[in-house]
Every structure is written in structure tokens, then in C-alpha cells.
Structure 1
Amino acid sequence: MSKADDLPYRPCAGIMLINGTGQIFVGERIDMPGAWQMPQGGIDEGESHEEAALRELEEEIGVTPGEAEIVKATADWVYYDLPDHLLGKAWGGKFRGQKQRWFLVRLTAGDDAINIETDHPEFSRWKWTDAQSLLAEIVPFKRPVYEAVVQELLG
């Protein structure tokens, strides 16, 4: 049993934001050039999964709850473990990985609602993409999560 086995998973909400033509939002992480991902973040104490998803959407890309609607969610948590080189570094070393509830969210406003220049920017640039390109561009240790999320939310 490794030290990681003693650590909990960090509860997180993930957002697959789609536009009117079904394309998926991805942002390139400021701290990891070349690493693209969908918006996601921790669920605060006393916050519902849905509230966390909408809060993270606004915090990370400026889209307010009035500019998007939740279409559906994954039936259960989706888990991933951090790779060895990130264990003990990410999230202050308190977690072994994340357990995530993912939400398919439709952007009901135009592209101008998206603003990645937030108070605490996470993305250097963004684009709309398709599911196949999304899976090709995600960091390898998160690929199984993204494959499961794409299958469940878009399948």
C-alpha cells in the first residue's frame, strides 16, 4: 500500500460546455502550455454539485448562470489518480486525485460571453473543438476520464 492510498480524492465539478452546433469548449492551461482541458474545480463545503459547476464556469471563463443551462450530468463520480510526479504537489499534497461529477452545459449566449481574463486566470487561450480532438489533446493521465465523460454525456 502506497502513501497515496491513504489520501482521499478531491471532490470536483467538471463542465463540458457546448455551443449551439455541439462543439466543446477547451482552454489551454496557463501553467501547462499545450495542455488543454474543460473547465473544472473543487466543490465547496455545503455546495451542491450543480452550484459548483455553475460557479466554476463563471470563475474560469466568465460565463454566468444566466448565459448557460445544465443539460445533464454523469450518473456517478468519475475518478482519476494523479501521476507520481504530481503526488504531494498538487492541491497541497492533500489528495491522491479527483472524484468528479461532470455536467453537459449548453451556452445559451454568444461567444462574447466567454472571458478567460478572469480574476484568477487559468487559461491562456480557448477554442471550440470536437470530441475526437478533445480526447487527442488532453493530458494522458486524464484521458480515461474524458473518454468516459464524452461517452456518457454525448454517447
Structure 2
Amino acid sequence: MIDVDGYRPNVGIVLLNADGRLFWARRVHRDGWQFPQGGMRSDETPLEAMYRELQEETGLSPEHVQVLASTRGWLRYKLPSRYIRHHQHPTCIGQKQVWFLLKLVGGEDALCLNACEKPEFDLWRWVDFWYPAAHVVNFKRDVYHRALRHFAPLVENMLSIELGPQPQSRRNSPRNKRAA
């Protein structure tokens, strides 16, 4: 399912543990790490797609998590041209995502990366809150930064912790600003 602008509807999942650290997973047969995410089916709401992707990619069921928040509207990113399949129509130029912040309420022993027939991840770990915004593949960094920035105040308030300074997004970094 691709929209008229060329974006595929998708959900992203930020999974938080009791210490304020985030679930970070490595893609199978690759060295790229990311949050769980996946495409929405035409008959799904974002929440339904999130629960399906959560089960497929982490083995977690709704009883293992608490939904804390979601982003308002879509956060978009464009794919680098080398990933665009120009021969397919409609052509997908990127993804538009609704991001969900979840808190793990069951034990981490419920995590199972091979819960589906074709696993997407082969390793996982807990990382500091801002780590993913600086370490995900370049073309996803801005959308990760925006999602985490949206969730940060809630996490700080809920856990009574300070997450520290947020890294600059690529879009806002000094070397990418246009001279006035």
C-alpha cells in the first residue's frame, strides 16, 4: 500500500524498560541496528499494525507492554535513490510512520526474535535513550530524532530521570544549515 505521494504507511516501536533504556536490535545478516517497525496493511489501524509488528519482530504480546504514547500524524523519511525500485508502480519513495512508545511490563525473558517464520532481527540489547538517533542508518536519523524528542518529556516525567542532552539531528546540525 503506497499513498499518492509515494510513501508506504508504517509503524515504529520504541520499547522502554524500567531503567529508561530502549530496545535496539540488529537486522538479520546485516550490521544495521534499528527499532522494530513495519508496514501497515490496508485493513489495519496503526495500533493494530503496531501490535502485529511487535509480536512478529520481538515475540511480545499486548500483555507484555503498556502503550504510553504515540506521535501525532505521520513522520516521514525518504529512501536513498539506490533503494527506490523505480520499475515498480506505484513507486515507493519512502515511509510515513506513526511511532509508539511502549513500556515493557513483563520480564525481558518474553522477548523472542524468532517468533515468526522469517525473523527480522538476530541480536538485541538495551541502549541509552538518545543512542538510536545517532546510530541508526543515516536516512532514518531525522525521523528517529523527531520521535524520540516527542517521547522524551514523558519518559523523563514518568521515570523521574533526566535523559541528558539530545543529539542534534542532521537537518539541524550547523554544517547543514544554510547561510542567511
Can you list the C-alpha shifts for 1:25-79, whole angstroms capped at 9, x where unaligned? 010111421x110000011112111111111000011001111111110011000
Aligned-partner residue type, residue 122 of structure 1: E
Matched positions, count = 148
- Helix, strand or coil for the counterpart of 1:46? coil
- Helix, strand or coil for the counterpart of 2:141? helix
Q: Give the corresponding residue for 1:60.
A: 57
Higher-Rg structure is 2
How far apart in 2 are the matches of 1:8 and 1:58?
Answer: 27
Q: Is the 8 A contact 2:23 2:35 kept in 1?
A: yes
TM-score (norm 1): 0.89
Higher relative contact order (CA 8 A, sep 6+): 1
Runs of 4+ in 1 over 6 A off after TM superposition: none
Check 1:38–1:92 CA distance in 2 against 1; reply closer, same or farther (3 A cut).
farther
Report the identity percentage.
Answer: 37
Pair 1:49-2:36 in alignment: no
Pair 1:113-2:110 in alignment: yes
Q: Give the corresponding residue for 2:130.
A: 132
The gaps in structure 1 that reach 5 residues or longer are: 1-5
Q: Is the 8 A contact 2:20 2:129 kept in 1?
A: no
TM-score (norm 2): 0.77
Residue in structure 2 matching 1:152, options 150, 155, 166:
150
More strand by share: 1
Can you list the C-alpha shifts for 1:89-132, whole angstroms capped at 9, x where unaligned? 8x998311000000001111011011112321111100010123
Q: Give the corresponding residue for 1:32.
A: 30
Q: Is the 8 A contact 1:7 1:94 kept in 2?
A: no
